[in-house]
Chain A
Amino acid sequence: MTLLEAAEKLGLKPVAGQSRLSRELDQGYVSDLLSDVMANAKPGDIWVTLQIHQNIIAVATLKELAGIILIGGRQPEKQTLAKAEVEQVPILLTDLPAFEVVGRLYQLGITGRR
C-alpha cells in the first residue's frame, strides 16, 4: 500500500511533500516525544503525532520517515510547512484522534512491529 492509497482510505489531507506520496508503506510509529521518535522510529515509518513545530521535519528527515500524520485537526506551523516542502516530507492532516488513525492504519495492514 502506498502513502497516497492509505491517505485516500482514511480521508487524510496531504498538505506537503506531494512528490513522495507514492512511497510504499508497511510500518508506523506513534509518539509525541521527539527524542523517543529519534530513538525508536525506523526508516520508512509513517509517524502519527500532535506536534506541529518545524522540529518534526528535521526528525522525519533524520530518520528517513515516510511521512507525518497530524491528528486531531491540528494545523502545521507556517515554518513547518515550508520546511516540509523543501525537504519533501509528506504531511497529512486529519480530524481523527491518534487512536482512531492508528487503529485504521492497522486494519490496512500497517503494523508497529520493531
Chain B
Amino acid sequence: MEIRVVEDIEADRMFIEIVDDGFGMDEERARRALDPFFTTKTVRRVGLGLPLLSEACRMSNGDMQIQSCPGKGTRVKATFQHSHIDRKPLGNIRDTLITVMTGHPQVDLLYEHRREDKVFSLDTREVKADLGDIPLDAPQVVSALRALIQSGLEELGAS
C-alpha cells in the first residue's frame, strides 16, 4: 500500500493519495463506495470511510476520485484547498502510521509526504529488510519508528 501526501503551498492545494494492490472494485462498486449505506462489512450496515473523506474534500473546495480495477487494486485521490478555513488538519499522522503498520505488519507500506521542496518517506519493505528476523511490531522497533516519523514530519513542518 502507498500513501502519498503532497502539500503544495504555492498552488494552495493538498493531495492525499492512497494506492493499494488489493481486490479492487468494479465500476458499480466504486460508485457505491460513496454511499454511506453501502459496505462490504458484515458486522455493521454503514461504511463511512470514503463518504466522510469525500465530504471533507468538498467542504474545503476539493474533491475525491476513486480509480479501481477488479483484481488489480484501488487508487483514491483526495484534493483539498490547502488554506481553506474548513480544511480539516491532517491530525496525528505519526500514530496513524504506527497503527497501520503494527495492525497489519504483513502489509508493505510506503508513506511519502512532500511539503514544498522537502520530502519525508518511509518504506516498511526497507525497514523489514534491515530488521531481518525481528518483527515490525516489536516494542523497540515501534518506538524507533515513532521517533523516526516524528522527526521526519517535524523537519517538513507538516500540517
- A residues lining the B interface (CB < 8 Å): 34-35, 38, 53-55, 57-59, 61-62, 83, 87
Contact = CB atoms under 8 A, between A and B. Distances in A.
Given A54-B36, A83-B37, A59 B48 contact: yes
Given A57-B36, A58-B36, A83-B37, A35 B52 contact: yes
Size bracket of the B interface: 10 to 19
A62 B46 contact: yes
A58 B48 contact: yes
Contacts of B36: 54-55, 57-58, 83
Interface in B46-90: 46, 48, 51-52, 55
Contacts of B44: 62
A54 to B, nearest CB: 6
A55 B51 contact: yes
Contact of A61 (B35, B45, B51, B52): B45
Interface of B: 35-37, 44-46, 48, 51-52, 55
Contacts of B37: 57-58, 61, 83, 87
A90 B91 CA distance: 33
Contacts, number: 32
Contact of B52 (A34, A83, A87): A34
- Counting chain A CB atoms within 10 Å of each CB, the highest count among B36, B51, B55 belongs to B36
B45 A55 contact: no
Contacts of B46: 58-59, 61-62
B129 to A, nearest CB: 36
14 contacts: A34-B52, A53-B55, A55-B36, A55-B48, A55-B52, A55-B55, A57-B36, A57-B37, A59-B46, A62-B44, A62-B45, A62-B46, A83-B37, A87-B37
A62 B48 CA distance: 10
B47 to A, nearest CB: 8
A87 B51 CA distance: 17
Contacts of A57: 36-37
Given A34-B48, A54-B35, A55-B36, 5 more contacts: A38-B48, A55-B48, A58-B36, A58-B37, A59-B46
